[in-house]
Chains A and B, each alone.
Chain A
Amino acid sequence: MNIHEHQAKALLKELGVDVLEGIVCFTPEEAEAAFTKLGTPVCAVKSQIHAGGRGKGKAVAPGKLDASKYDAKTGDYSGPGVTSERGVVIVKSAADAKKTAAGLLGNVLVTKQTGAAGKVVKRIYVEAGCKPDKEFYASVLLDRSVGLPILMISPEGGMDIEEVAEHHPEKILKIHFDPNEGLWPNQASRAAYFLGLTGDAFKSGAKLLRSLCSAYGKLDAAMLEINPLAVAGNRVFCMDAKLSYDDNALFRQKKAEELRDINEEDPNETEAKKYDLSYIALDGSVGCLVNGAGLAMATMDVIKLFGGSPANFLDVGGGASKEKVAAAFKIILNDPKVKAILVNIFGGIMRCDVIAEGVIAAVKEVNLKVPLVVRLEGNQVERGKQLLKDSGLPIQTADSLSEAAQKVVASVK
């Protein structure tokens, strides 16, 4: 689960990580007041959306967005309706803050990471200005190959870290640490030397990195990224902050639920969560309903293999009940792009006849209008297929996943 920059900064501040002063605003008037309250000669007005590349993004009036003018490779938008040339703007006066906020709020920010649809800016963060002497990169994440968190830092701040890793791997330092122990002082010093910090800035940098690693554990973060991290005089602080929670740990991160911004999530994905279904919206036209994450991914792959394109990932889980199957159908059909549905169930513990009954009930309940191909395999498969056949509903069946995919792709074309 992702949260906004201003929320991440508030959490980090509580845990002893230095961040700039800032105020979250929902209206241009609030932004105007925030500038005055912060009292620095300049302020940054920052769009708060759950996607990166905001600085280079463009805000567009919602009705005027022309998706064909979006370049997916660069993230550039060259179409009409631009209300702000950047998603993060430096302003010099309260009036300027108000005007800038008006250009961002309620408009769609299109960046390299949002895709052509962009994301509506519903809140902005007005932050005190600063004059960094130098900018760095820092992140804490899991290194799966050794099963430990890793602190990753680079003196190249504000850059795309993947590019740095590719072209200048020597400019990245990686330090593993045990979350029980946190970052040892010697490790923090090594990192601060690597960034070229000296004197009091060295001390404050080492302290910040230790706090950052400890915050990663305390917050059950999946990823914590500070890009850029900055030094100004003796002070080392976060200019940006990105935090995502480990979804498995949300039960003990009580604050996280308050920080969830439902506007940033796909409404279908939110609905699916209520039924304990794992759903991810995609761009294609074939809806998929599968049991098991691996099989669900493989089903999407096979649809593509035979020339189709999956509309979603959907894992109904091991114990798919009739109700769950019905809910899954509804969620798939909420997507207007869906032109056909493929159900692929390997009935292991679950019996295929029970699943067939669930599918039949769901088809009747939702009054299905698009072609449906069902592939059942496993326990009581013959009875299951017979039930589908006897239902009199226009359901195509298939024996293998390849056959099912071919049939469903043919029905879309």
Chain B
Amino acid sequence: MAILVDKSTKVICQGITGAFGAQHTRGCYAYGTQMVGGVTPGKGGTFFEIEAAESGGGYDGKQKVPAGKLPIFNTVEQAVKATGADATMIFVPPPFAADAIVEAAEAGIRLINCITEGIPVLDMVKCMQALKRYPKTRLVGPNCPGVITPEACKIGIMPGYIHRSGDIGVLSRSGTLTYEAVWQITKAGFGQSTCVGIGGDPVKGTDFIDVLDLFQKDPATKGVVMIGEIGGSAEEEAAAWIKKNMTKPVAGFIAGRTAPPGRRMGHAGAIVSGGAGTAEGKVKAMKEAGIAVCDSPSEIGVTILKAMGRA
């Protein structure tokens, strides 16, 4: 058991013929994810070919990759009808990405992972209003690495081989910082139940509390790592929720203590404005909620293991 995705998850890629979409469709396929097709308007009826390889496949990146041939469709609706896909990863360019999200929701996709970075904020505002009509659909992202249940299903751009199946849930607003935490846990001999990158944008689908709730209810998850950054108040809200509802140990880290106010630090959502959204405020709220917060990202792994009585 894990959350959001497992071996039975059938995945399509929207934007499969773009360079980025093609590269990561191959990556997810090689990992062992059930990739069942792709969508590129105008290229329906053609196929996405994957060549066999001697290595680079499997959960450790060292296995053979079998040849593959994925059907391409003009619309998500057609793809779902033909393949039974229940999840999608979106690599569509920013001007069209919000539309692609709504299309996936309308086609009945259960889990949408939007990897695209740089979507106009107003598009996401409108998109989130539209998604209210599809309560069964969950959006993860945008501007995120995706979701992985190690040794079962990888959807997104994270390097698969750094993960091992285990019982620590990881959720984060940052991509590479998540890899950092995951790698520390793996090198210490432990593994992850599911890792969710919720993304660095100010308006997004899934937020900390949504995932924390899933981890709390998941019997396979025994502890949780939560990685936040400056901007907004999602970490403070999550901390309050954890204090009230969470019985599993949680470790945390907040990036951006040295970020100057009023500047966007790479991520569109990483900005301290009007004295709100500071790292200090977030760390304080998290500590008050009983979360084990570390000062250096080098210590994320050991901090959660200590909190779980394993180090």
| Complex interface: chain B residues within 8 A of A303 (CB) | 258
Q: Let me know if A278 is at the binding interface, CB within 8 A.
A: yes
The residues in B between 213 and 236 inclusive whose CB is less than 8 angstroms from any CB of A are 227, 229-234
Q: Let me know if B275 is at the binding interface, CB within 8 A.
A: yes
Digitize A283-304: 1 where CB-to-B-CB distance is under 8 Å, 0 elsewhere: 0000000111111111011111
- Residue of A at shortest CB range from B180? A346
Known: A292-B177, A294-B174, A294-B200. A147 touches B128 (CB 8 A): yes
Q: Let me know if A310 is at the binding interface, CB within 8 A.
A: yes
Q: Let me know if B45 is at the binding interface, CB within 8 A.
A: no
Q: Let me know if B295 is at the binding interface, CB within 8 A.
A: yes
Q: Count A-B contacts at CB 8 Å.
A: 170
Q: In the complex, A301 Cα to B279 Cα: how many Å? A: 10
- 8 Å CB contact of B203 from A144, A291, A296, A401: A144
Q: Let me know if A162 is at the binding interface, CB within 8 A.
A: yes
List chain B positions with a Cβ less than 8 A from chain A: 27, 94-95, 118-126, 128-129, 157-159, 161-162, 172-180, 183, 200, 202-203, 227, 229-234, 237, 253, 255-260, 263-270, 274-275, 279, 295-299
Q: Give 13 CB contacts A-B under 8 Å.
A: A144-B231, A149-B125, A220-B121, A282-B258, A282-B260, A292-B177, A294-B173, A294-B200, A294-B267, A302-B296, A305-B295, A346-B183, A348-B157
- 8 Å CB contact of B259 from A222, A252, A313: A313
Evaluate contact between B229 and A162: CB separation under 8 angstroms.
no
Q: Let me know if A81 is at the binding interface, CB within 8 A.
A: no
- 8 Å CB contact of A348 from B119, B162, B258, B268: B162
Evaluate contact between B253 and A248: CB separation under 8 angstroms.
no
- Residue of A at shortest CB range from B236? A145
A208 shortest CB reach to chain B, Å:
21
- Residue of A at shortest CB range from B20? A319
Evaluate contact between B266 and A377: CB separation under 8 angstroms.
no
| Complex interface: chain B residues within 8 A of A377 (CB) | 180, 183
| Complex interface: chain B residues within 8 A of A291 (CB) | 176
Q: In the complex, A175 Cα to B233 Cα: how many Å? A: 19
Evaluate contact between B120 and A348: CB separation under 8 angstroms.
no
Known: A180-B126, A248-B268, A300-B259. A348 touches B158 (CB 8 A): yes
| Complex interface: chain A residues within 8 A of B259 (CB) | 297, 300, 313
Tally chain A residues at the interface, Cβ within 8 Å: 54
Interface centre among B120, B161, B203 (most CB of A within 10 A): B120
Evaluate contact between A402 and B299: CB separation under 8 angstroms.
yes
Digitize A178-215: 1 where CB-to-B-CB distance is under 8 Å, 0 elsewhere: 11100000000000000000000000000000000000
- 8 Å CB contact of B257 from A165, A217, A249, A301: A301
Digitize A159-187: 1 where CB-to-B-CB distance is under 8 Å, 0 elsewhere: 00110010000000000001110000000
Evaluate contact between A142 and B202: CB separation under 8 angstroms.
yes
- 8 Å CB contact of B229 from A179, A282, A297: A297
Evaluate contact between B122 and A249: CB separation under 8 angstroms.
yes
- 8 Å CB contact of A145 from B178, B230, B233, B263: B233
Evaluate contact between A148 and B125: CB separation under 8 angstroms.
yes
Evaluate contact between B296 and A401: CB separation under 8 angstroms.
yes
Digitize A255-279: 1 where CB-to-B-CB distance is under 8 Å, 0 elsewhere: 0000000000000000000000010
| Complex interface: chain A residues within 8 A of B296 (CB) | 301-302, 305, 401-402, 405
- Residue of A at shortest CB range from B120? A249
| Complex interface: chain B residues within 8 A of A246 (CB) | 120-122
Q: In the complex, A180 Cα to B125 Cα: how many Å? A: 9
Evaluate contact between A346 and B179: CB separation under 8 angstroms.
yes
Evaluate contact between A220 and B270: CB separation under 8 angstroms.
no
Which 6 A-B residue pairings sit nearest by Cβ, starting from the closest?
A294-B174, A293-B266, A292-B176, A348-B159, A294-B177, A249-B120
Given contacts A145-B233, A378-B183, 13 further A-B contacts (CB under 8 A): A145-B237, A147-B128, A147-B203, A165-B274, A179-B122, A217-B122, A248-B118, A297-B266, A298-B253, A300-B256, A301-B297, A313-B265, A379-B159
| Complex interface: chain B residues within 8 A of A180 (CB) | 126, 129
Q: In the complex, A318 Cα to B255 Cα: how many Å? A: 18
- 8 Å CB contact of B175 from A142, A251, A301, A318: A318
| Complex interface: chain A residues within 8 A of B125 (CB) | 142, 147-149, 179
| Complex interface: chain B residues within 8 A of A301 (CB) | 255-258, 279, 295-297
